Amino acid sequence: MQSVPEESLPPVSGTCLVTGGAGFVGSHLVASLLQLGAEVTVMDNFSYGSRHRMESMAKGHEERLHLLSGSLESLEDCVEACQDIHTVFHYASTGNSPSSFEEPFSSCQANVEGSLNLLWAAWKQGVHKFVQASSSSVYGDDSSIPMVEDRTGRPQSPYALSRYVAELYGDLFWRKYHLPTITLRYFNVYGPGQLWAEQGPAVVTCMLSYLLQGQSPPIYGNGEQSRDFVYIDDAVSANFLAAASRRGGVYNVGSGERYTINEIYEECLSVLKNLGQKIIAPPPHYLPQRFGEVNHGLAHMGRASQELGYKPTITMSEGLHRTASWLLSLSQDERDLIYAHYLDAIATPWGREANE
């Protein structure tokens, strides 16, 4: 697992707890914490994250990386996990925007009740800093561009609503319980190792995977939806800045730039050709837009820049190059398996035609 260059990260004090540490962002965060010499406990039920990834990462770090199989829905598990912890990085969540319409209860249990359990446990155990992940989906039907932290619309899915409620609990624990809590409201994080995202198959990896198979990548809607894509290294760096800050509140984490999905398709074609791949350029396969999907997203970066010192450094072209290089480093069997998973996911009602 790749970690962020050490010289770009502020120091982290004490022992850290990372919930959801076996997932995409969580595992990159754990790798960077270990690189800095931190002692890390990972709490994960491995329903989404990779146990194998964590066990591989633990090799050589047995003294400083501890794996704890537990559930956020158990207050007892949360209290145990927060014992002797200085900083909590909360990344465990469940569900995605499309599937949460069919399973709203799991989003509420994990993202609301689980977050409340962890906040309560952190406060009871005297944790010094609490950093939690949220999502730009909380902006809902607010059409303002760029999106500013204090101006949100109505959430468009049970998943988005559960994320917003968790944000409100974080703010309450900061204001009334005096637990220093920062919420990082992520836009579209991408990079090596990512297979899934909030809407299902991760846009960048999915598109690269289809192109490498010589197949038409699926695009929901007309492809003119725009997104703010932020590379994983920049997303991880925001955690270290948040942990070092004495502030509380909500901060956007994005790149401050946006691309349409059609533009991402063209960029993926270009980067694969630059990497020496002879790609037959099949046109995208356009599918009905997914139910509850927001058309446009762009992070306003003023607050995160001024108050945390956050500044994204990886351009879209560089991020796509790194992600494509990772995918090409896998064996053909591994790439075939990823492609097969995407085929299965897109064939499901919530992955393909949720609005029919």
Q: Which domains does the chain have, with CATH numbers?
A: 12-187+232-253 (3.40.50.720), 190-227+258-295+314-352 (3.90.25.10)
In one letter, which amino acid is 163?
R
Which pLDDT does position 356 carry in this prediction?
26
Query: What six digits make up the tokens of 273?
Result: 């050709």
- Whether 31 has a pLDDT exceeding 70, the answer reads yes
Q: Tell me: the pLDDT tens digits for 229-246? A: 999 999 999 999 999 999
Q: Which amino acid is at 326?
A: W
Residues in the chain: 356
First to last CA, the chain: 40
Catalytic residues: 159
- For the chain, the average pLDDT equals 90
Tell me the C-alpha distance between 30 and 76, whole Å. 23
R_g (Cα) of the chain, nearest Å: 19
State mean pLDDT over 19-46. Answer: 93
Distance between CA atoms of 76 and 217, rounded to whole angstroms? 45
CA 230 – CA 328 distance, rounded (Å)? 21
φ/ψ of residue 95, rounded to 5: 80, 165
Cis geometry, peptide bond prior to residue 218 (ω within 30 degrees of 0): no
| Per-residue confidence (pLDDT) for residue 354, from 0 to 100 | 33
Q: Which segment of 6-10, 121-125, 202-206 scores lowest on mean pLDDT?
A: 6-10
Residue 75 has pLDDT above 80, yes or no: yes
